[in-house]
Amino acid sequence: MKKSVALLIGLGAIVLTGVLMAQNACGVGNKTWGSPYGGQVAVFAYPTQAKYKVGEKIGIAVEMKNFGTETVRFAITSDFIDYRLSLYDENGAPVSMTPKASNAEKQTVHEFTMRKAEDIAPGKEFKAGRPLILNEWFDIKKPGVYRLVVMRQVGVPDTPPVGYAMSNLVKIVIEK
């Protein structure tokens, strides 16, 4: 029981740190990138439309940029392995994950086959081929203004370092 409580407190601290780091993102051009992981790779995430209706698919586009001086490699496996998402309602309360997302987060990258690896050269950007569908991750049932942080795994399994680059703080408007 004590270990479970300590684990939950630790995870909460990591998420809170992530939100604070996302709020301190760096602006470059017309994009506000998240805090670069290892001083190299940052994530820019944004909704694919200005407003959504309750029950409508909510698309989140994701881009990555290499701010460093060395090429960065990352794996493409499954969205639920490659990304970690944290969504908060307008009161700052975390939104419940769907069972599919909750179960997938317990798996590791080693349980999936890497479909391919991508490289981002210094100064270059990479845009994910399709948007993430937020409804697959979270049980969103009410209208409101939500805040999202997207973390993208950087690195290739068994080739350290592997970590997560963090996005800007994303505002999502959902109407009735």
Q: What are the extents of the domains in the chain? A: 2-175
Structure tokens, 145: 């203004």
* Percentages (nearest 5) of helix, strand, coil residues in the chain: 20, 45, 35
Q: Which of the four pLDDT bands, split at 50, 70 and 90, describes residue 161?
A: low
Residue 93 clears pLDDT 80, i.e. is over it: yes
Residue 73 clears pLDDT 90, i.e. is over it: no
Q: pLDDT value at position 15?
A: 44
Q: pLDDT value at position 13?
A: 39
Cα(98)–Cα(136) distance, rounded to whole angstroms? 7
Which residues lie closer than 8 Å to 72 by C-beta, 6 or more apart?
40, 41, 66, 119, 120, 154, 155
Q: pLDDT value at position 2?
A: 45
Structure tokens, 50: 């200005």
Residue 118 clears pLDDT 80, i.e. is over it: yes
- For residue 143, say if its preceding peptide bond is cis, omega within 30 degrees of 0: no
CATH number for region 2-175:
2.60.40.2360
Q: Which of the four pLDDT bands, split at 50, 70 and 90, describes residue 122?
A: very high
Model confidence, pTM: 0.79
Cα(147)–Cα(52) distance, rounded to whole angstroms? 14
Q: How do strand 116-120 and strand 72-76 relate by DSSP bridges?
A: antiparallel
